[in-house]
Amino acid sequence: MPVTDALLWVHGTPPATSAAFLTAGSAYSATEIDFGAPAAGTSTPYLPEFPSLTERGYTTPAETFFGNVEFGLHFVVGVAFDTLTSIVLSAVSDTTTNATTAIASRTLTLAQMAVAGAHYFVPVQQSAVKEFLRAYGAITGSNNVSGTCQMWFGPRTGGEL
């Protein structure tokens, strides 16, 4: 994705259009964030990139010292979903593109997905995020026919369910 799109995602501003999601069964998001290769921070200028390999092993991640800002995956229903029974929405992250390792998940029912404008949040431990991050939706029941959504990664804004 272009850098401008990544900035929009990170700052919590969704793209202007919704995308159909889960119309052909369980699916990964079409967009994946690349945070850049991690650096060890062992050479000058000693500024490790995200995520820091030095900090990754810490029990208390560095972000908890900056006001406990909670980051995660935002999911906003555009057009109401119509047929699935439930969806397990996961944030997935790996060190290579096409991430598949789930690092945080949340189950949403059809009743929750059938409300246009509903805004859901999956909290993600920042220390679990590797270089690449995207979403995965695993459905039970029938494939979705009419639902659309917007998703982005960013801080909790206070209006999520």
Tell which residue, 78, 63, 74, 54, has the closest CA to residue 146: 78
CB 148 within 8 A of CB 3: no
Task: Find the CATH number of the domain harbouring 129.
Answer: 2.60.120.1110
Residue 106 resides in a domain = yes
The chain-wide mean pLDDT, for the chain, equals 75
Residue 80 resides in a domain = yes
Q: What's the pLDDT score for residue 121?
A: 92
Q: What's the pLDDT score for residue 4?
A: 44
Query: How is the chain split among helix, strand and coil, in percent rounded to 5?
Result: 15, 35, 50
Residue 54 resides in a domain = no
Q: What's the pLDDT score for residue 1?
A: 37
Residue 132 resides in a domain = yes
pTM of the model: 0.72
Residue 21 resides in a domain = yes
Range of the domain at 101: 3-36+70-155
Tell me the pLDDT tens digit for each residue of 79-123: 888 888 898 999 999 988 999 999 999 999 999 999 888 889 999
Residue 42 resides in a domain = no
Residue 45 resides in a domain = no
Number of structural domains found in the chain: 1
